[in-house]
Amino acid sequence: MGAKVFIVDNEYRADRKVFFVDNDYQQRNHQLIMGGTLVKNEYEADMKVFIMDNEYRADILITRRNFPK
């Protein structure tokens, strides 16, 4: 069972920063959230993430296909 993930709207509130890549070989630290579920409420989450515009500032690189649903 993967982590319960919540997407926050401010970078400072996030535990991890995520950037979407196009190919599986570009992924990094994706195992932290891959296979997890997206939750609707912040209090349910194991991990809060913020979606980044820049790859170099992200902690997790993951494909959209592998991102929790």
- Whole-model pTM: value is 0.93
| 17 exposure class (CB count in 10 Å sphere: 0-12, 13-18, 19+) | middle
Which amino acid belongs to residue 2?
G
Task: Please name the helix (run of DSSP H) or strand (run of DSSP E) that holds residue 6, with its range, or none.
Answer: strand 4-7
C-alpha dihedral sign at 22, 8, 69, 60: positive
Q: For residue range 14-67, what is the model confidence (pLDDT) as tens digits?
A: 999 999 999 999 999 999 999 999 999 999 999 999 999 999 999 999 999 999
